[in-house]
Structure 1
Amino acid sequence: MKRNSRLSLALHTLGHMARDPGRMRKSADIAAHAGTNPVVVRRVLGSLREAGLLVSESGHAGGWRLARAPQEITLADVYLALDERLTAAEPTAETHDCSVEHALHFRVSKVMEEVEQTLIQKLSETTILAIRGATDQKSMSK
């Protein structure tokens, strides 16, 4: 997973939120910790809010917090909320009449759809709480 991806940012943030699910976190604080811009954080977390994974409150005491218990949020929930897909885009108008492009798109899309279904199934087996617990155990063993 790329360090600068939206999925990586979302999972990193939710992993920290799992430690104290009711605590509000400011976009600026999340951004500083993740080494990115608060606008990027708000866009990513906004997608999670739309999916019902986070709630946000505006104002001085506002911020972001988990909308559900961390044991109820799977990595698949986050992946799907961000609408990050492996499947290829449809052929463009310039290549629409190209039989090679059409055949390639059809074959690759079918394979990628199967891979993505397996990925989503595997991601659904792990919760944010499990990630939090794994990091807590790792830090305790040091």
Structure 2
Amino acid sequence: MNGSSRLVVATHVLTVLAVVRDERLSSEKLAWSLNTNPVVVRRLLGSLRDAELVTSKRGPNGGFALARSPDDVTLSDIYEALEIESLFTFHPNEPNDECPVGDNIQAILTETLQPAEAALKDELKTITIADLSLQILEQSSTPIESVESADLGD
């Protein structure tokens, strides 16, 4: 999964946990919300747990929960937890240095894109999981209980 989709998926997971605040949720229920495989969710949850953004508990009442208040988790925290090196990555092959574009494009793009990436990272520090949760609760026509009572076919 590339860095940008990891950020979006992890934000989705943490927002579900914030909205269903009093419940621990299994990776299966979180995957249900994402409409994806639980393995995808478990991989991300490992990084989020290592960064102390979620807690996990095994057993019948186990699952995942936020480790901090949703007000204390920013999108920047998630970005850092996932160790995304850069929003912009170059293609894996070195450009042809015999071409004037190939010889110069990476240096020029790096210089051009670094300020944009820095501005985005600054903006991510201002957005919390609580902000996203509030927007979702205001806009949703689906009851929150649907996550807790999701029919997983088991």
TM-score (norm 2): 0.75
DSSP-derived class of the 1:56 partner:
strand
Larger RCO (CA under 8 A, 6+ residues apart): 2
What does 1:1-142 correspond to in 2, within 5 Å?
5-84=5-84, 85-89=86-90, 92=93, 95=94, 98=97, 100-139=101-140
Find the aligned partners of 2:30 and 2:126 in 1 and give their Cα distance. 26
Task: Single out whichever of 119-128 and 56-65 deviates more from structure 2.
Answer: 56-65
Give the 3 Å change call, closer, same or farther, for CA 110–11 of structure 1 in structure 2.
Answer: same
User: CA deviation digits over 1:34-86, x for unaligned, max 9?
Assistant: 11001000011211111111111223322111111100001111122223321
Shift of 1:96: 7.3
Find the aligned partners of 2:118 and 2:134 in 1 and give their Cα distance. 26
Letter in 2 for 1:104: I
Percent of aligned positions with the same letter in both sequences? 35
Find the aligned partners of 2:103 and 2:78 in 1 and give their Cα distance. 32
Check whether the contact 2:13–2:30 (CA below 8 A) recurs between aligned residues: yes
TM-score (norm 1): 0.80
DSSP-derived class of the 2:65 partner:
strand
**How many equivalent residue pairs?**
135
Check whether the contact 1:88–1:105 (CA below 8 A) recurs between aligned residues: no
Shift of 1:31: 0.8
Give 5+ residue unaligned stretches, structure 1. Answer: none
Check whether the contact 2:16–2:30 (CA below 8 A) recurs between aligned residues: no
Task: Single out whichever of 127-136 and 12-21 deviates more from structure 2.
Answer: 12-21
DSSP-derived class of the 2:19 partner:
coil
Give 5+ residue unaligned stretches, structure 2. Answer: 142-154
Find the aligned partners of 2:20 and 2:96 in 1 and give their Cα distance. 55
Divergent runs of 4+, >6 A: none
